[in-house]
Amino acid sequence: MGVIVFTSYILLMHSLAVIFAQDPIGLRVSASLRGLLVGTAADVVLLKQNVDDGQYISNIKKNYQLIVAENEMKPRHIWWGDNIYNFTDPDWLIGGTPSTTGWIQQNGLQIRGHNLLWARDTVIPTWLLEQESSITPDKAKSLLSDYIHTVVTRYRGKIQWWDVVNEAIDDQNNTNPFNLRSCFWFRKLGPDFMKYAFIFAHEADPNLKLYYNEYGIERIGLKANRTVELIKWLRSQGATVHGVGLQYHVQVGNSMTPGDEYYQSAQQFIDNNLDIMVTELDISVAMKNGQPVNPNDIIQQGVIYRQHLQFVFHFAARCPAMLTWGFTDKYSWIPSASHNTEGDALPLDVSYKPKPAYWQLQEELARSLTDGVYCLSPQSQSDQYLGTSQNPTSASVQLYQGQCNQANEKWNVTWLGDGTYRLSPLSNTTLALYTSNANATVGQVQVSSWSNNYDQEWVLTLQGNNGYRVGPRNAWSRVMTVYETTNVAIVDYSRSGNQSWILRSV
């Protein structure tokens, strides 16, 4: 039995090594085609320094549409005194006036605001704690109003979501309403501090989606129940709360299956008319001397990352995004917070190499059908089939009318492991569908000898009408379409029936 297990492990690692050798299309492309936002926490200092020869920034741009500033938009970083603000980093990130842009816009990204109020004394601006004895409740309310109105107004229209309050519920039972944590704001204003925070944020930008962000509420249970009751009370007091951020700092043993306590907790929030968002996902493994205690944990970690993405897709109507708290183990907070007993929690390793978690996410986002032989018909002309020329020396492809019973009308569709597929005609499997001039107004589609080039790779995305969007990797936002009745070409996407393809297994 030991030999069998060892052999299986070697085969698995060989399979993963083959995948690792490939250059993935990236999570950003695949998520965009699926209509999901994937994001990460980013350190503005690292962005400014363009660290690691640009690898930090290049991996963000390749894999994410959405970021959250790890620290630079929190009150302690911005709020230095009564009406004293340091907006240097946030302004660099998103621009400090309506007419200016920052790094986010210049790189085609979006941002979540995190956070306007963190209900812990250890992270509340030090000057507030130093002056606590002289600050009256009325003054505290005025300070909170000034801060939230100032920050939200400054970045109005540039941020779609704000975590208004972060981590207000205590882990240990206490006598406070809703088991709220004792902190400066609670001591001055009682539970009303949360009501005021949400009301002030809504006043400053009525178009914002306002979230309460918390850990330990991912599973159904007492803390999740207290969160629901808290939000019910906030709404009864006139506060606007749109959603709940589920942090998901979990360990490798926390697997998920539909209908379990994770799904039940999410459904409870949704049943109370709240959106949800996975806001700080990382999945740590036990570590010793800088290495996983169990090497197989890294494989299992990938499975669990995929389960979280499946969870997000399950609740897609009320869950617009999934963010990890960082993306490379090189800059993860987990080792220092756990005194090096946990780590390796993110999809890329310390050298920015994709781990099994990354490949699991890439496949869940991009793999839409199993390998096999298929006939391809445009949805607008289901009696037509894509095929190669009957002249063996011609590289052209066209649509044929009939029953798709000829080898030149059938295609071997093969998952390449990097987020794309190869399409080879059954009549000559050494060839592959490819594009030339894919970014021209009308790009060409032909076949050529397989050489593993990007112009021979295709992204296939299942759409709501059971048709597939078929696009070239090297121009992924564009699509293959019927062109001039029987020809096909690459054009801009316009949701036309000519651009939706039925893939029938044969």
Backbone angles phi, psi at 471, to 5 degrees: -135, 155
Q: Are 165 and 194 in contact (CB under 8 A)?
A: yes
CA-CA distance, 59 to 352, in Å (whole number)? 8
- Which CA distances in Å does 255 have to 248, 252, 296, 319? 12, 7, 15, 19
Bond into 453 cis (ω within 30): no
Sign for the pseudo-dihedral over CA of 82, 88, 89, 92 = positive
Q: Please report which residue ranges of 121-164 form alpha helices under DSSP H.
A: 126-130, 137-154
Give a three-class secondary structure readout of 177-215.
HHHECCCHHHHHHCCHHHHHHHHHHHHHCCCCEEEEEEC
CA-CA distance, 460 to 483, in Å (whole number)? 19
CA-CA distance, 137 to 193, in Å (whole number)? 10
CA-CA distance, 90 to 270, in Å (whole number)? 32
For 137, which DSSP code? Answer: H
Q: Are 250 and 217 in contact (CB under 8 A)?
A: no
Of residues 280, 364, 409, 457, which has the active-site annotation?
280
Q: Please report which residue ranges of 50-171 form alpha helices under DSSP H.
A: 55-63, 75-78, 88-94, 103-106, 126-130, 137-154
Other Cβ atoms within 10 Å of 102 Cβ, number: 20
Backbone angles phi, psi at 498, to 5 degrees: -70, -15
Backbone angles phi, psi at 459, to 5 degrees: -100, 130
Identify the CA nearest to 446 among candidates 410, 488, 501, 400: 488
- 167 classed as catalytic: yes
Of residues 70, 72, 167, 342, which has the active-site annotation?
167
- 261 classed as catalytic: no
Backbone angles phi, psi at 158, to 5 degrees: -105, -15
Pairing of strands 243-246, 372-378: unpaired
Q: Which residues are catalytic?
A: 167, 280
